[in-house]
A = this chain, B = another copy of it.
Amino acid sequence: MNAPSLEELLADYPIRFETPVAWGEMDAFQHVNNVVYFKYFESARIAYFAAVGFAEHMEATGVGPILASTSCRFKRPLRFPDRVTVGARVRDLAEDRFTMLYRVVSHQLGAVAAEGEGLIVSYDYRAEAKAPLPEAIRAKMLKVDPGAADGELVADPC
Contact = CB atoms under 8 A, between A and B. Distances in A.
Interface of A: 17-20, 22-24, 26-28, 30, 33-35, 38-39, 42-43, 46, 50, 67-74, 80-81, 117, 155, 157-158
Contacts of A33: 24, 42
Contact of A39 (B26, B28, B35): B35
Given A34-B70, A69-B72, A72-B69, A43 B27 contact: no
A46 B23 contact: yes
A87 to B, nearest CB: 15
The majority secondary structure among interface residues of chain A is: mixed
Number of copies: 4
Contacts of A69: 71-74
A26 B27 contact: yes
Nearest to A125: B29
Nearest to A155: B155
18 contacts: A17-B20, A18-B20, A19-B19, A23-B43, A26-B27, A26-B28, A27-B27, A28-B80, A34-B42, A34-B70, A50-B81, A67-B74, A69-B71, A71-B158, A73-B158, A117-B158, A155-B155, A157-B158
